[in-house]
Structure 1
Amino acid sequence: MRPMLATASTTIPVGDRWQHEVKWDGMRVLADVTDGEIRLFSRTERDVTVAFPELRGLAHEYADMLLDGEIVAMRDGVPSFSAMAERFHVTDARRAAMLAEVSPVTLMTFDLLRLYGVELLPRAWSDRRATLERLELSGPRWQTPPTFSDGVTLHAATKEQGLEGIVSKRIDSVYVPGLRSPYWLKSPHRGTVSVVIGGWRPESTGTVSRRLGAVLVGVPDPGGLRYLGRVGSGLAGKTGQSLMRDLESLTSAESPFATDVPVEDSAGATWVRPVLVADVQSLGLSGQGKLRQPAYKGLRSDLTPADVDDHGDGE
């Protein structure tokens, strides 16, 4: 089952039909507890249980439940996407155990979809939330953060604290798996978008350098990708080296972009199969539809190109 998703919004809804939560910068998961065992599934329904051994204890809280939440890695009291990204790909149990010691994560639970065999999806959010809060899930590596009635104030507070933003939910909304719902609205502070990588350029054009200088990115469009620009910031050092290893096996003879790529960007470019999704932070789009001052944040192994809409909306 895929989780229900929020729709991006430029306004914060007000009134007693809405409640508001902190938007966490991490990895969305469904946590399925059955018969004393827990299994964690990413947005793409991939089993990522082995990567997060510090969450196993949640299985001892209740015998049967299905939780929706976000796994975050906290740094100085604020979720760190870069710290979280190193946990995405882990499939080796020993490495996962080591990372759990040095870089532990926390599961922020915000919805309850099943309890003791009873499916709660058709119930209103307010009912599901009240039941979740009665569970009092508060452990060393999991918690249920509060909700707030004043979204405008929460939005301002999260910006001051350096958090990602807020999510506003209609209290009568049912849970529809996989739906990007108009009854869940997200209001992020930072312009982070999910994009698909369609090509790369070396550090210096006209040379034989294989060091990554920039990636060419876009979002799904009929016939291919709609080009959003070149991203070079954030690719220095180990980050660029790691991404380069992923890109080298994806080389393609043809551009995956359905729209024109300017000559100044395509010069010296190597095209790749459009299968990798990355998060990019920017100042929005220019009048020409290109990302303004984009910076690479990291790969999203929990997303596929099909999860990215034409606005770069991947969460």
Structure 2
Amino acid sequence: MRPMLATATDRLPVGAGWAYEVKWDGMRVLADARDGQLTLTSRSGRDVTAAYPELWPLAQTYEDFLLDGEVIALADGLPSFAALAERMHVGDARRARRLVATRPVTLMAFDLLRLLGQDLTAQPWHARRVLLEQLELDGPRWQVPDVYEDGEQLLAVTAEQGLEGVVAKRRDAPYAPGRRSPDWRKLAHRPTVSVVVGGWRPETGAEGSGRLGAVLAGIPDGSGGWAYAGRVGSGLAGQTGARLRERLVPRADSPFSTPVPREDAAGTTWTEPTVVLEVRSLGRGDTGKLRQPSVVGVRHDLDPADLHEVSDA
């Protein structure tokens, strides 16, 4: 089974037919417990059980169940995808056990899909939620997060606290495995950051046309230069990309002080880091790259020196 996926929205639905949960900055998993053994499966269907030994005792709580949830790791008291990255791809159980001491994870279990052999996916969300709460899964490394009635208030609170966002769920909706459904809607807080453009790549399949498909972004490296922050392609379609392309001044080599991965550098035309863009993203991952970035627009009111001043402040 694959997990049900939420549809992105720019406005939360309102009304008594909806409930609201915190959107966690972690790794989606299905936790399958049978006969005292736990299997954790990622959204892509990969078995990730070995990576999270602190969750294995969850299988001792009930004889048979299937949970949907998010594995999170904390950094400075907040869920951090970058912190979780240390754990995500660990396949060796012994190494995973060592990491438990320094980077423990918690399973935020927000849905119940099977209980004691009974498939619950056809049941409405509110019925599944009642059963999930009755299980009283409040362990050292797993919990059932709260549900809220006021989505707008939760949105404001999560923004204030630095959490990822909010998911709205239709109370009478069944669980749709593997589908992206409008019955679940997500709104993430995507902060913006000002970046310089240090290179551009042509639109896929349009090599030689001169059409801009993506830019390579840089942020202050703390030493007066530019650290590579990733490739940004979203938000550059049509005239936006064409106008930006006209502003870019080519140069012979990379303007970045940190390495650019070969897959990003391939086919790139390096440019002078003189154009500033505003980019919306989900923050930076463990490699320093922006996560899911998209261009908001060119910052005509800023030049690169302004970015260094902000960074040094």
TM-score (norm 1): 0.68
1:233 CA displacement: 3.8
1:38 CA displacement: 0.3
Aligned residue for 1:93? 93
- Runs of 4+ off more than 6 Å: 213-218, 220-224
1:232 CA displacement: 3.3
Aligned residue for 1:135? 135
Aligned residue for 1:201? none
1:180 CA displacement: 1.1
* Structure 2 contact 82–284 (Cα < 8 Å) conserved: no
* Structure 2 contact 158–164 (Cα < 8 Å) conserved: yes
Gaps of 5+ in 1: 193-212, 245-258, 275-289, 300-307
| One-letter amino acid of the counterpart of residue 279, structure 2 | R
Aligned residue for 1:176? 176
1:268 CA displacement: 5.1
Q: Provide, for residues 262-292 of structure 1, a one-character-per-residue CA deviation record: whole Å limited to 9, x for no partner.
A: 5768965888669xxxxxxxxxxxxxxx862
Q: Aligned to 1:297, what secondary structure does the other structure show?
A: coil
1:174 CA displacement: 1.1
Partner of residue 285 from structure 2, selected from 292, 297, 307: 297
Q: Aligned to 2:177, what secondary structure does the other structure show?
A: coil
1:187 CA displacement: 1.2
Gaps of 5+ in 2: 231-240, 255-259, 265-276, 296-313
Aligned-pair identity (%): 48
Taking a change above 3 Å as real, the CA distance of residues 163 and 216 of structure 1, as seen in their structure-2 partners, is farther
Q: Aligned to 1:7, what secondary structure does the other structure show?
A: strand
Aligned residue for 1:253? none
Taking a change above 3 Å as real, the CA distance of residues 36 and 273 of structure 1, as seen in their structure-2 partners, is same
Q: Aligned to 1:232, what secondary structure does the other structure show?
A: strand
Aligned residue for 1:35? 35
Q: Distance in 1 between matches of 2:19 and 2:62?
A: 26
Q: Aligned to 2:131, what secondary structure does the other structure show?
A: helix
Taking a change above 3 Å as real, the CA distance of residues 96 and 124 of structure 1, as seen in their structure-2 partners, is same
CA RMSD of aligned residues (A): 4.0
Q: Provide, for residues 39-94 of structure 1, a one-character-per-residue CA deviation record: whole Å limited to 9, x for no partner.
A: 11111110011110000110001111110000001233311221111111111111
Q: Provide, for residues 80-115 of structure 1, a one-character-per-residue CA deviation record: whole Å limited to 9, x for no partner.
A: 221111111111111100111111000000001111
Taking a change above 3 Å as real, the CA distance of residues 36 and 161 of structure 1, as seen in their structure-2 partners, is same
Q: Distance in 1 between matches of 2:119 and 2:280?
A: 45
* Structure 2 contact 90–96 (Cα < 8 Å) conserved: yes
* Structure 2 contact 204–213 (Cα < 8 Å) conserved: no
Aligned residue for 2:146? 146
1:234 CA displacement: 9.0
* Structure 1 contact 107–143 (Cα < 8 Å) conserved: yes
Name the count of aligned residue pairs: 254
| One-letter amino acid of the counterpart of residue 231, structure 1 | A
Q: Aligned to 1:73, what secondary structure does the other structure show?
A: strand
Taking a change above 3 Å as real, the CA distance of residues 160 and 117 of structure 1, as seen in their structure-2 partners, is same
Alignment of 1:253-264 (within 5 A): none
Q: Provide, for residues 191-231 of structure 1, a one-character-per-residue CA deviation record: whole Å limited to 9, x for no partner.
A: 49xxxxxxxxxxxxxxxxxxxx989799x98999x934323
Asked if 1:185 is matched to 2:172, the reply is no
| One-letter amino acid of the counterpart of residue 85, structure 1 | A
Q: Distance in 2 between matches of 1:221 and 1:128?
A: 44
* Structure 2 contact 36–60 (Cα < 8 Å) conserved: yes
| One-letter amino acid of the counterpart of residue 93, structure 1 | A
Q: Aligned to 2:279, what secondary structure does the other structure show?
A: coil
The structure with the larger Rg is: 2
Alignment of 1:67-216 (within 5 A): 67-191=67-191
TM-score (norm 2): 0.69
Alignment of 1:210-229 (within 5 A): 227-229=213-215
Taking a change above 3 Å as real, the CA distance of residues 133 and 88 of structure 1, as seen in their structure-2 partners, is same
Asked if 1:66 is matched to 2:66, the reply is yes
Taking a change above 3 Å as real, the CA distance of residues 40 and 130 of structure 1, as seen in their structure-2 partners, is same
